[in-house]
Structure 1
Amino acid sequence: MQRFKNKFALITGGTNGMGFATAQQFIKEDGKVIITGRRAETVNKAVERLGKKAFGIVSNAGSMKDIMLLHEQVKQHTENIDLLFVNAGYGKFAPVEFADETHFDELFNMLVKGTFFTVQQTLPLMKKGSAVVFNTSFVTEVGMTNFSVYSAAKSAVQSFIKTFAAEFTEKGIRVNGISPGHIKTNIFNNTGLNTEQIEGAIQSIIPTIPFKRLGEPTEIANAVLFLASQEASYIHGTELTVDAGISVIR
């Protein structure tokens, strides 16, 4: 398939997990990709793995200074972005009584403020026929202990799907979202849990999933690229849930 021949994607948080898998698939379909990540080492390593059609930018989605530089950094590689996958982020979780202001601000700065201004700064590079895809989460549809701040931040991103779609309609830019379930990513790496605790958390989650397995990053990538493709040309302002049914099956 060559759905993305002569197309350029910007994928934030593209050094691993869902972002990296989406970059891989976009390149396989003859596109070119710019990925962002917080550390030069991981960005360079990911670009090396992706090959000559990939470019990297060191940029922290939680830093306004970095986001405000993003436009000019992207222009060093291309004048046009056909797909913006706003994917950067990670989870931190705490009970309500233990969540402090630092915890709250970290998640909202990265997931909400960072998401909003990343789109704002990329918008001048997008033309009619391009697409924005937000990464939300199934947690916006269910109540989960310790997830209050993370879920609220993702709910804000979920609201951007509708409001941005309304504003970008006249520009001919489609806006949609992808709502992943439990996927094999490094989402727990910034929680402060050690390797054994992370594995324990994963093993406790798997029985709750209807398919009794974690999703593969490629399964999210396929959904993102469907929303970015002409096959989804009449899909706008929609959130596509890819969670094995965990948000609706009990």
Structure 2
Amino acid sequence: MGQLTDKTALVTGASSGIGLAAAERFIAEGARVYITGRRKDVLDTAARDLGDQAIPIQNDVSDLDDLDGLFDRIAADGHRLDVVFANAGVGEANQPLDSLKPLAFDNTFGINVRGTVFTVQKALPLLNDGGSIVLTGSSSAHRGTAGFGVYSATKAAIRQFGRVWAAELAPRGLRVNTVVPGTTDTPGLRGLAENSERSGGFVNELASGTPLRRAADPSEIANAVLFLASDQSSFITGSELFVDGGEVQVYP
């Protein structure tokens, strides 16, 4: 028996990186997993790699009609949810205040905050009492890094929503926690580099700012997500679980 045997989970932003690793971990523990992503070709490839327990649904979390379609599909399949991992997000570097564009601001908040809020809201009617909601935060929310103001502000918002929702949803036995990755070697992070040739050096440069002096593998974040999703964390809610190589606690 796996930790999620006979349970159904939703993982948004599961085409690659942390979301894909979490979906893989959930499936290994016995779950049926709905996975979402904006790019159909990448999402379909992820689903093929994950196997029959993965159900791909192309989805943009910032589009409320798309979200309605996602949950209508889950309901039409006759399933309820035990776990929601609201992971979909974007990040852009080099957005200092003096050159910040409204479109970039709206895009980042639209996906990271609006998308997360309404993913969780629209999931509530399908969530079984006693289920688990896991949000993706970031160590950036706890640090003042030049050029990352918008991204870090979205993740600070997620941190606070998680706390409030933990209080609001406690009567249903729903737990809400936030996993806080540090530097993690994902396609998304590498995409912030100036070019593909610089991506490895860019990740290593960021990783050098952690006590462990390395980047996390997405599977290491997925292990923490599984803990928060499973009964192993049955008395934990409203918390942040830092999986950042000691970055925030050791080098505040």
Smaller-chain TM-score bracket:
over 0.9
- Tell me the amino acid that sits aligned with residue 167 of structure 1: E
With the length of structure 1 as denominator, give the TM-score of the two structures.
Answer: 0.95
Give the CA deviation at 1:58. 0.2
Give the CA deviation at 1:34. 0.5
> CA 1:223 to 1:211, structure 2 compared with 1: closer, same or farther past 3 Å?
same
- Tell me the amino acid that sits aligned with residue 52 of structure 1: D
Give the CA deviation at 1:168. 0.5
Structure 2 counterpart of 1:183: 184
Give the CA deviation at 1:96. 1.4
Please tell me whether the aligned partners of residues 35 and 56 of structure 1 are also in contact (alpha carbons under 8 angstroms).
yes
Give the CA deviation at 1:74. 1.9
Q: Distance in 2 between matches of 1:67 and 1:158?
A: 22
Q: Distance in 1 between matches of 2:164 and 2:190?
A: 32
Please tell me whether the aligned partners of residues 183 and 215 of structure 1 are also in contact (alpha carbons under 8 angstroms).
yes
Structure 1 counterpart of 2:60: 60
Task: Write the deviation string for residues 130-186 of structure 1: whole angstroms up to 9, x where unpaired.
Answer: 100000001111110100000011111111111111110111111111000001112
Please tell me whether the aligned partners of residues 211 and 246 of structure 2 are also in contact (alpha carbons under 8 angstroms).
yes
- Tell me the amino acid that sits aligned with residue 193 of structure 1: E
- Tell me the amino acid that sits aligned with residue 26 of structure 2: F
Task: Write the deviation string for residues 24-44 of structure 1: whole angstroms up to 9, x where unpaired.
Answer: 111111111000000111111
> Among the aligned pairs, what percent are the same residue?
37
Give the CA deviation at 1:229. 1.1
Helix, strand or coil at the partner of 1:208? coil
Gaps of 5+ in 2: none
Greater shift in the superposed pair: 121-130 or 73-82: 73-82
Gaps of 5+ in 1: none
Q: Distance in 2 between matches of 1:113 and 1:206?
A: 29
- Tell me the amino acid that sits aligned with residue 224 of structure 2: A
- Tell me the amino acid that sits aligned with residue 66 of structure 1: D
Please tell me whether the aligned partners of residues 92 and 190 of structure 1 are also in contact (alpha carbons under 8 angstroms).
no
Structure 2 counterpart of 1:131: 132
Helix, strand or coil at the partner of 1:248? helix
Helix, strand or coil at the partner of 2:248? coil
1:148 aligns with 2:146: no
Structure 2 counterpart of 1:245: 246
Give the CA deviation at 1:189. 5.7
Matches within 5 A, 1:23-38: 23-38=23-38
Q: Distance in 1 between matches of 2:140 and 2:147?
A: 11
Q: Distance in 2 between matches of 1:15 and 1:227?
A: 21
- Tell me the amino acid that sits aligned with residue 97 of structure 2: V
> CA 1:47 to 1:206, structure 2 compared with 1: closer, same or farther past 3 Å?
same
- Tell me the amino acid that sits aligned with residue 185 of structure 2: K
1:102 aligns with 2:130: no
1:118 aligns with 2:119: yes
Helix, strand or coil at the partner of 1:84? strand
Structure 1 counterpart of 2:70: 70
Q: Distance in 2 between matches of 1:39 and 1:77?
A: 22
Matches within 5 A, 1:208-223: 208-223=209-224
Give the CA deviation at 1:191. 4.4
- Tell me the amino acid that sits aligned with residue 3 of structure 2: R
Give the CA deviation at 1:192. 7.8
Please tell me whether the aligned partners of residues 91 and 190 of structure 1 are also in contact (alpha carbons under 8 angstroms).
no
With the length of structure 2 as denominator, give the TM-score of the two structures.
Answer: 0.95
Task: Write the deviation string for residues 73-129 of structure 1: whole angstroms up to 9, x where unpaired.
Answer: 222334211110000112112111111101100000000001000011111000112
- Tell me the amino acid that sits aligned with residue 45 of structure 1: T
Q: Distance in 2 between matches of 1:99 and 1:216?
A: 31
- Tell me the amino acid that sits aligned with residue 240 of structure 1: L
Please tell me whether the aligned partners of residues 4 and 31 of structure 1 are also in contact (alpha carbons under 8 angstroms).
yes
Greater shift in the superposed pair: 212-221 or 180-189: 180-189
Structure 1 counterpart of 2:18: 18
